[in-house]
Amino acid sequence: MTDTRERQLFGTDGIRGVAGQYPLDRRTVEIIGRALGIRLAAQHPGVQVVIGQDTRESSEWIAELLARGLASQGVKAVEAGIITTPGVAYLARARAFAAGIVISASHNPWHDNGIKVFGHDGYKLSDAIEHEIEAEIFRELEQPNVAAEDRALTGLPPDPELHAAYVRWLAQSVAGELKGIRALVDCANGATAALGPEVLRACQVEAEFLNINPDGRNINAGCGALHPDAVAQAVLERSRKGRHFDLGITFDGDGDRALFSDAEGRVVNGDAVLLLAARQMKRHGSLRGDTVVATTMSNMGLEAALRREGIRMLRAPVGDKYVLEQMQKTGAALGGEQSGHIIFRDGDSTTGDGMLTALRVMAAMAERRASLAELTADLKVFPQVITNIRVREKKPLAEVPPVQQAIARAERELGTEGRLVVRYSGTEALARVMVEAESESEMRRVADEVSGVIRHELGE
C-alpha cells in the first residue's frame, strides 16, 4: 500500500542528488549502507546483497562506500559491475540475495547519481520500508565519527557470471524467432552499452548501435530515451542512404525503459507499446482480466483504443512502483508509463526492463509479420503538452490557493474533452503540468495559464 507520509530522502525512484553533495556525500553514502545493513542483518544474519551500477564516474565510489557500510553490519556486497536496474532486480530474486542495490540516476545528467534498493524478491521497497530506513539513516547521521571519510578507495571487482546470467535470462525470455529483424539501437552511453549488443546478438537481431562508448560523463547526453527523436532521425537518415531498419530502439541510462521509432522515423512511445503489448497478450490469453494499468500521464487516446479492444485501462500515480502496486492489487499482467517503463507480469519480471520491452516489441512484429507502424496505427492521440516549472520548494499544491483556483478553472473549461494533471517530479525540483485537449490551441492556452500561476507562486 502507498504510504502517504512525506519522505525526506527517498523519491519515487530511490535516493537521488548531486554526487558528492548531501545525501550523496561520502559520509552519508556509507551511513546509508550501514542503515541498510542494520535492517538486513536483523532479518537475515550473514546475508549477501548484489550491487550494480551505471556508467557515471561517481558510481564506482558510491558502490564501494555502500559496501563498506553494509560490511560494518556483517552484510557482504557482491559486485555485478555495470548492469541495468532490472538486471539487479533479476539477480536479487534469481540468486537468492537479500537485496539488490542499484547506483544510478536513470535519465538524469552525469553529475547526478542515486541509490535504489530491491528486496530479495526483486521488487522495489515499499514506501513504509523506505520510511524505516530513512529513520535509521537519520539516527546514524546524529552519531559522531560513524563513517570515516578519508580512507582510500580500491574498487570492487565485479563477478562476470552475474552479468552473463542476466544476458542468458533475457535471451531465453523471447518467444519466437527474431532472426532477420533490423534494429538501430541507442544505448545512451549507459548501462545497456555492453549488455545491448550481447543480448541482441544472442537473439540474432541484426543491430547497429549508437552511443555505446561511455566515458563517465556522456550518459544521457543528447541521446537515449530522453531524446527519442535522435534515434528516429537516425533511422530516417539511414533509410535515405539505402540502409533500412525495421525499428529504432532507445534506452535510458539505467536501462529500465525503452522508447522506439518505426521504420519511417516516427517516435513510438510507451502508450503505443502498451497498446501493442496488450493486444499481443490478449491474443495469447495472458492478459489477465483484460486489464492494463497505465498512469495519470497516459493519453486519453490509449484508453479509447484499448476500450475498442474490450480492454479496461486503470490509472495509477506516476512512478513505475505505483503502477506495479496497482497491478498486484488487481492481478493485471501488463502495466506501464508513457515514458517507456513497461512491466510484464506474465513471466517473472518484477520491474520495468527496457531490453525485455524491446524484445517483446520485436517478437510481436515477427509473429504478426507486421511493421511497428502497422501494429500501432489506430492509436489516435489527443494533443498533449507537458510543461516543467522549476520550483524553489515542493509545497503541497493544496496549500497554494491561487494554484488550486487555476487548476479548478482549467478543469471546468476542459470538461470531458480533455485532462489536466499537475504534480511534482519525484526526482527533481520541478512541477509538471500536463494538458490534453481535442484542440491544440485550447491545450496550449490552458497549459500556459496554469504554468504561469505555478511559476508566479512557486518558481525559483
Kindly list the catalytic residues. 106
Residues 6+ apart with CB under 8 A from 112: 16, 17, 18, 19, 56, 105
Spatial strand order in the sheet of 247-251: 206-210, 182-186, 247-251, 258-261, 267-268
Residue carrying C-alpha cell 513510438: 268
Contacts of 191 (CB under 8 A, 6+ apart): 52, 53, 54, 55, 82, 83, 84, 85, 87, 104, 253, 254, 255
Across-strand partners of 49? Answer: 77, 99
The H or E element containing residue 101 is strand 99-103
For residue 142, what are the contacts with CB-CB under 8 A and spacing of at least 6? none
Distance from C-alpha of 94 to C-alpha of 107, rounded to nearest angstrom = 26
Give me the helices (H) in 156-263, please.
Answer: 160-172, 192-202, 228-240
Closest CA to 251 of 458, 403, 37, 85: 85
The closest alpha carbon to 447, from 431, 460, 458, belongs to: 431
How is residue 323 written as a grid cell?
503502477
Helices (H) and strands (E) in the chain, counts: 14, 18
Cis omega (within 30 of 0) for bond into 23: yes
For helices 85-94 and 160-172, what crossing angle results, to 10°? 90
Query: 80 by DSSP, 3-state: which?
Result: strand
What does the alpha-carbon distance between residue 232 and residue 250 come to, in Å, rounded to a whole number? 9
How many whole angstroms separate alpha carbon 267 and alpha carbon 175?
25
